[in-house]
Structure 1
Amino acid sequence: MGCDIHAYVETRTNGTWAYAGDNTFPDNEFPKEKQCPFDGARDYGLFGFLADVRNYSESPVIAEPRGLPADVSAEVRAKSDDWNVDGHSHTWLTLAELLAFDYDQTFADQRGEGEPQVKTVRRFLHDWYFGRLDLLAKLGAPDDVRIVFWFDN
């Protein structure tokens, strides 16, 4: 059975986090990606990096799952509640955290055939990922933009 990510963008204004909406990124090709540019991608390398979920490559992990933020918006909490026990590894990351990570560090990618390949996290995540960060950066200051996400399988 496959594993999918369910990701939502929140922005902070005057100290309060709010769901950015189901159509935050209207130009994205896939319907799920209109709410968050990471949603809709079944990329276990990305999942491993973001939350140590299906981390077959044994990549560095930006942060272990933290649960939903205490100040999560009502809309995103309701979306999480809809998943009930079928959702797991709930967590969140600010754009500031995503931008501050050292993507030039290397690791031995364990996934693939033959000997593990040493590569940078930047190469591992590809240009696609960094384009997604650029989309998020259009929504506000890095400390005021976050993705809240969880997984199913």
Structure 2
Amino acid sequence: MERRRQRLEPYRRRLADDTATTETFQLTPQYGGTLMGCDIHIVLERRRNGQPKWIGEYCSDNHPVVGRNLRARQRDYGFFGRLAHVRHHPEEGPHHYPQNLPRDVSDLAWDQYMRCPTDYHTPSHLSVPDFCEAYLAENPNDPQIRAEHVAFDLLGVDSEEDCEYRVVFWFDN
């Protein structure tokens, strides 16, 4: 508790200098009681029906090179909390608990995760439909997501009939 107070002291001092900001700014955000910054790292994996190996399609850390639409990568603490089952316990909608990295994870996902394994936390994976369902449960009125094309609008996935897709993800602070 003392360490948290020490970390927040510069913010308190800065706020004390500006009375207008002091009246409107709260040091306890909606989810969790401390100032936080959290990002999601996503690897989309594909496996052809009948094949045992998952192939990494792309990683959100280098998505501009790939040219995919990654709406899912934007900071959305309600969505992140639903995926990681932390700081947010929704009454309605899907509940997902972290499942760790899958045993048959693609080489791309493994390489990306091992870049900073001590900084990353709450690794998990979901099918694309489950991932999209969790997003829609948290953001039912997102104007940039079309219900009939949610996988494409959220992850840039144009599904093929002979392929299975899943999302491997983890977070950092």
Contact 2:82 2:90 in 1 (8 A): no
Mapped to 2, the partners of 1:48 and 1:128 lie a distance apart of: 21
Partner of residue 133, structure 1: 151
For this pair of structures, how many residues does the alignment match? 127
TM-score (norm 1): 0.65
Out of 146, 149, 153, the position equivalent to 2:166 is 146
Partner of residue 102, structure 2: 69
Say which structure is richer in helix.
2
Q: List aligned pairs for 1:4-153, cutoff 5 A.
A: 4-13=39-48, 14-22=51-59, 23=63, 26=67, 28=69, 33=70, 37-39=71-73, 41-55=74-88, 60-98=93-131, 121=137, 124=140, 126-128=142-144, 132-135=150-153, 136=155, 137-141=157-161, 144-153=164-173
SS of 1:20's equivalent in the other structure is strand
Q: Which of 1 and 2 has greater Rg?
A: 2
Further displaced range: 74-83 or 57-66: 57-66
Q: CA deviation at 1:126?
A: 3.0
Instruction: From the superposition, tell whether residues 75 and 134 of structure 1 become closer, same or farther in structure 2 (CA, over 3 Å).
Output: closer
Q: CA deviation at 1:139?
A: 3.3
Mapped to 2, the partners of 1:125 and 1:89 lie a distance apart of: 27
Task: Kindly provide the amino acid, as one letter, of the partner of residue 37 in structure 2.
Answer: G
Mapped to 2, the partners of 1:19 and 1:73 lie a distance apart of: 5
TM-score (norm 2): 0.59
Contact 2:132 2:150 in 1 (8 A): no
| RMSD across aligned positions (CA) | 3.1
Contact 1:8 1:148 in 2 (8 A): yes
Could you tell me which runs of 5 or more consecutive residues in structure 2 were left unpaired when the two chains were aligned: 1-35
Mapped to 1, the partners of 2:72 and 2:112 lie a distance apart of: 16
Report sequence identity in percent.
Answer: 30
Q: CA deviation at 1:25?
A: 5.7
Mapped to 2, the partners of 1:51 and 1:67 lie a distance apart of: 10
Could you tell me which runs of 5 or more consecutive residues in structure 1 were left unpaired when the two chains were aligned: 104-120
Task: Kindly provide the amino acid, as one letter, of the partner of residue 165 in structure 2.
Answer: V
